[in-house]
Amino acid sequence: METYESIREWKDQHITNFLDDTLSLNDFHDQVMHKVMEIAKSKLKKDSPPCDFTWFITGSGGRFEQGFISDQDHGIVYEISSEENDAYFKKLGNEISYGLHITGYPYCLGNIMSSNPIWCKSLHDWQKQLQQWMEDESFETIRQLQIFYDARVLQGEFGYVNHLKSLIYEYQLAHPFLLNRFSANVSHVKNVIGPMGQILVERHGVYQGCVNLKYAAFLPYVNAIRLLSIKEGIFETSTLARMDRLIQLNDYEKILQNCERNFLDLLKYRLSLFRVASYSDTHYLNIEKLSKIERKEIKRILKDGKRLHDEVITLTSL
Amino acid sequence: MDDVMYLMNSLWTMVSAILVIFMIAGFILLEAGSTRMKNAGHVAGKTVFTFGLSSLVFWAVGYGFIFGGDANFFIGMSDFFYGGDLIEGAGLATTVFFVFQLAFAGIAITIALGGFAERAKFSAYVIFTILFGIIIYPVIAHWIWGGGWLAEHGKQDFAGSTVVHLTGAAAALAATILLKPRIGKFNKDGSSNNIAGHNQVYTALGVLILFVGWFGFNAGSTVSVDAAFFGFVALNTALAASAGAVAATLISWMALGKPDITTILNGALAGLVAITASCAFVDVWASVVIGFIAGVLVFYSTRFFEKRRIDDPIFALSVHGAAGVWGTLSTGFFATKELATVGKPGLFYGGGFEQLGVQLMGVVACGVFAFVVSYAILFIMKKAGGIRVTEEEEIMGLDMSEHGSYGYPEQMMLDQSKFK
């Protein structure tokens, strides 16, 4: 019989086969998580859950952009609230979080996990919660909404998450100010291109001379594309898929120029980091160790990312 | 009329001496703010102590070595244990001049001890303060201000870019090399960590107090109110400091993407240090240029030292050393015919390379002398009894290890329990 420990062992043995491209690596992560879910369900000593539900992951996993290691981000939407159901999914949420932790997905510091009642609710309660978040418009709730927007169904009923996302889309159509709040929430970007066009690197610490790809490169692309997706009601979660859909809308061809290629390159660079850093997760790219061509490429990716981000922020600000 | 001038000169120089002594307060805030909480009480207390000790040494022998008669190549040999006698015919009261000079000696040792920050034993401060005040500072001050060989060459150092700042920085360099970096400053792979100071506001206030005190330091070095020339010196001083701060802001903004606060503060000080040699010898516009260059220089200098794994917690090497060298050389370029009351005009004013050569010789001679003698003293101290606290004491903090009480008791008590 499989245990969390045996899954971890299996995962550690096989994950190295998937370090060549992000898509297959993410498929592999999905497989691992499915296995964890199965064990978690079996541990609750019930043949099947008491009602329909969906288990989604979000964050980089939701966007299909997980690296070698990433912490867990996930939640549950279940059909209907009842004493029995609430108790079951509370237990299941706890069990999944624990199981993922044992299999090598560290607990989420921001507590975006099915074990957190905020991220494990019935459909009706989710609707209420999203509504409240949108009305609140606080920094914290706007952030939660954006995280939710990256939710990708891993198991169970597919319709719930898209239904909930459509609530966000419709609300922002009726209340354009919401989009403005989303935009303001992500408008800060760590600036890594200096006034003289040089790449600004970490000045101190073990990552001296490196550029932080997560904050300087990934986030500008991811945040900008998510903003446009909310605006246009695109429910896909991967940044590349979102770009595909956006380009079809015609309005964004100019803004998105080069972005797809850049983002693919970025994913490649990150995977190469995992290899050289003896598989420890890192977002820090040492600029000095790159060839001249690579350095030029990175600079282009960073610059385009900043441009895309700035243009989208302008577009989505009132 | 002579009497009036005598009194006015004395009064102005006395006020300036007080301003210079007040700079010690600036150094306390600067150094305490730039270092960690666990060493704050130590920094504050030892600075007052070493100023006191340095003053006694200056009274006993320092003053006599610098300004005394019967001089040999290195030092003068009279006026020890100065008893307050007034020299007849002098432009100001000798007592006032003595206090003014005592303050300068105190500033020089305070700069030197900056290189000791956060890791030296208290006993090392005691011994080095005494020896610096006997063997190092008086020799250089005598060479340049006491009628020594550099004075005879016409070396221009109006208020002490070399005598005070470079000398202090050279000693600090020897100290920081021999003490080795603080625990945690550098990683095994050669990268460095930022050990942030605990209070940037203290550091900034320290800089501003130094800024104000510097008017005593530079303008007071006229030791005279004649023709109100001190106003001109003060004007140059203010502009150089301002240009230094602005230049440092711009260069850090351009190079790092953000205007770096530490660099801004260092830039203001570098401008002050640089103009110290030249404030009386150069045109107003030149003081802006000199300060501006100092502000850029200090930024690259701090990076230079960090790359070479030299741990300089309060940037004494860059602010007082690099800017001190530049300031001393600057008169070799910018000294004007009218203002070069000592030495000759600079390169840009038809003086050719002669004055620049003298300045360079002065920098090399004084820098090497101060560094070598400091290194020798500290090396012997290191072999004899050690100059650095133990690893455990350094982690505990010098407040507790060297003095037995914390500068921030409530904050530190929790940590203290770890060492019981």
CB A141 within 8 A of CB A132: yes
Using a CB–CB cutoff of 8 Å, tell me whether A188 touches chain B: no
Cβ-proximal residues to B94 (8 Å cutoff; 6+ apart), any chain: B84, B85, B86, B87
Q: How far is A189 from chain B (nearest CA, A)?
A: 12
For residues A159 and A40, state if they share a domain.
yes
Q: Compute the distance between CA of residue A165 and CA of residue A147 in angstroms, rounded to an integer.
A: 11
For chain A, first and last CA: distance in Å?
A: 57
Quick check: A208 and B256 CB within 8 A? no
∠ CA B294-B299-B300, rounded to 5°: 100
∠ CA B53-B56-B57, rounded to 5°: 90
Q: Compute the distance between CA of residue B329 and CA of residue B319 in angstroms, rounded to an integer.
A: 15
Preferred mutation among A188, A190, A193, A206 to probe B, highest tally of B CBs within 10 A: A206
Identify which of A193, A195, A208 has the shortest CB distance to residue B192. Answer: A208
For residues A165 and A201, state if they share a domain.
no
Contact residues on chain B for A190, CB-CB shorter than 8 A: none
Q: Which of A123, A152, A174 lies at the terminal end of a domain, its last residue?
A: A174
Contact residues on chain B for A198, CB-CB shorter than 8 A: 255
CB-side exposure of B52: number of CA atoms within 13 Å? 7
Using a CB–CB cutoff of 8 Å, tell me whether A197 touches chain B: no
Strand partners, B388: B120
For residues A66 and A159, state if they share a domain.
yes
For residues A90 and A192, state if they share a domain.
no
Using a CB–CB cutoff of 8 Å, tell me whether A209 touches chain B: yes
Contact residues on chain B for A194, CB-CB shorter than 8 A: 254-257
CB A120 within 8 A of CB A90: yes
CA gyration radius for chain B?
21
Is the ipTM higher than 0.90? The answer is no
Q: How far is A276 from chain B (nearest CA, A)?
A: 16
Phi, psi of A205 (to 5 degrees): 85, -175
CB A50 within 8 A of CB A92: no
For residues A23 and A95, state if they share a domain.
yes
∠ CA A277-A278-A279, rounded to 5°: 90
What letter represents residue A191's amino acid? N
Strand partners, B192: B186
Identify which of B187, B254, B257 has the shortest CB distance to residue A191. Answer: B257
Identify which of B191, B254, B258 has the shortest CB distance to residue A206. Answer: B191
Residues of B with CB under 8 A from a CB of A: 187, 189, 191-194, 253-258
For residues A195 and A301, state if they share a domain.
yes
Nearest-CA neighbor of A173 among A225, A233, A127? A233
CB A96 within 8 A of CB A114: yes
Q: Compute the distance between CA of residue A265 and CA of residue A70 in angstroms, rounded to an integer.
A: 20
Tally of domains in chain A? 2
Q: Compute the distance between CA of residue B289 and CA of residue B244 in angstroms, rounded to an integer.
A: 9
Encode pLDDT of B151-195 as tens digits.
999 999 999 999 999 999 999 999 999 999 999 999 988 889 999
For residues A289 and A143, state if they share a domain.
no
Contact residues on chain A for B254, CB-CB shorter than 8 A: 194-196
Q: Which residue is associated with the tokens 């692309």? A: A221
For residues A26 and A163, state if they share a domain.
yes
For B187, nearest residue in chain A (alpha carbons)? A206
pLDDT number for residue B1: 62
CB B270 within 8 A of CB B309: no
Quick check: B254 and A194 CB within 8 A? yes
Using a CB–CB cutoff of 8 Å, tell me whether A199 touches chain B: no
Q: What tokens were used for A66? A: 């997980």
Contact residues on chain A for B189, CB-CB shorter than 8 A: 206
Q: Compute the distance between CA of residue B360 and CA of residue B148 in angstroms, rounded to an integer.
A: 16
Q: Which of A174, A198, A216 lies at the terminal end of a domain, its last residue?
A: A174
pLDDT number for residue A317: 85
For residues A167 and A191, state if they share a domain.
no
For residue A288, what is the DSSP state? G
Distance of CA A220 to the CA centre of its chain: 13
DSSP per residue, B259-270: --HHHHHHHHHH
Beta pairing, strands A120-122 & A152-156: unpaired
Nearest-CA neighbor of A313 among A192, A193, A221? A221
The dihedral through the CA atoms of B145, B146, B152, B153 has a sign that is negative
CB-side exposure of B138: number of CA atoms within 13 Å? 31
For A201, nearest residue in chain B (alpha carbons)? B256
Q: Which of A121, A146, A174 lies at the terminal end of a domain, its last residue?
A: A174
Stated length of chain B: 420
| Strand, coil or helix: B121 | coil
Asked if the model's pLDDT at residue B116 lies above 60, the reply is yes
Encode pLDDT of B346-378 as tens digits.
999 999 999 999 999 999 999 999 999 999 999
Q: Compute the distance between CA of residue A193 and CA of residue A201 in angstroms, rounded to an integer.
A: 9
Q: Compute the distance between CA of residue A150 and CA of residue A226 in angstroms, rounded to an integer.
A: 8
Q: Compute the distance between CA of residue B288 and CA of residue B283 in angstroms, rounded to an integer.
A: 9
Give me the total of CB pairs closer than 8 Å, taking one residue from chain A and one from chain B. 34
Which domains, from first to last, does chain B contain? 2-419 (1.10.3430.10)
Q: How far is A207 from chain B (nearest CA, A)?
A: 8
CB B31 within 8 A of CB B15: no
Distance of CA B29 to the CA centre of its chain: 15
Element (H, E) at B391: helix B391-396
CATH number of the domain where residue A21 is located: 3.30.460.10
Identify which of B189, B253, B257 has the shortest CB distance to residue A206. Answer: B189
Stated length of chain A: 318
Using a CB–CB cutoff of 8 Å, tell me whether A203 touches chain B: yes
Quick check: B256 and A194 CB within 8 A? yes
Identify which of A200, A207, A208 has the shortest CB distance to residue B256. Answer: A200
For chain B, first and last CA: distance in Å?
A: 70
Q: What tokens were used for B337? A: 């015919």
Q: How far is A318 from chain B (nearest CA, A)?
A: 28
pLDDT number for residue B164: 97
Q: How far is B301 from chain A (nearest CA, A)?
A: 15
Using a CB–CB cutoff of 8 Å, tell me whether A289 touches chain B: no
Element (H, E) at B174: helix B167-179
For residues A267 and A124, state if they share a domain.
no
Quick check: B191 and A203 CB within 8 A? no
Nearest-CA neighbor of A150 among A85, A69, A236? A236
Q: Cα dist. B173→A130, B363, B368, B382 in Å?
A: 61, 15, 11, 15
For residues A162 and A230, state if they share a domain.
no
For residues A37 and A137, state if they share a domain.
yes
**What is the domain range of residue A301?**
183-316
Mind listing the pLDDT tens digit of every residue in chain A (318 residues)?
789 999 999 999 998 888 888 899 999 999 999 999 999 999 987 667 899 999 999 999 999 998 888 889 999 999 999 999 999 999 999 999 999 999 999 999 899 999 999 999 999 999 999 999 999 989 999 999 999 999 999 999 989 999 999 999 999 999 999 999 999 999 888 888 888 888 999 888 888 889 988 889 999 999 999 999 999 999 999 999 999 999 999 789 899 989 999 999 999 888 887 665 544 557 888 888 889 999 999 999 999 999 999 999 999 987
pLDDT number for residue B415: 61
pLDDT band of B117, cuts 50, 70, 90: very high
**Farthest CA pair distance, chain B:** 70
The per-residue pLDDT of chain B, averaged, comes to 95
Q: What tokens were used for A155? A: 């198991």
Number of H helices, E strands in chain B: 18, 0
Q: Taking phi first (over 0 means left), then psi (-120 to 50 degrees means alpha), and beta for anything else, what does residue B283 get?
A: beta
Preferred mutation among A193, A208, A287, A299 to probe B, highest tally of B CBs within 10 A: A208
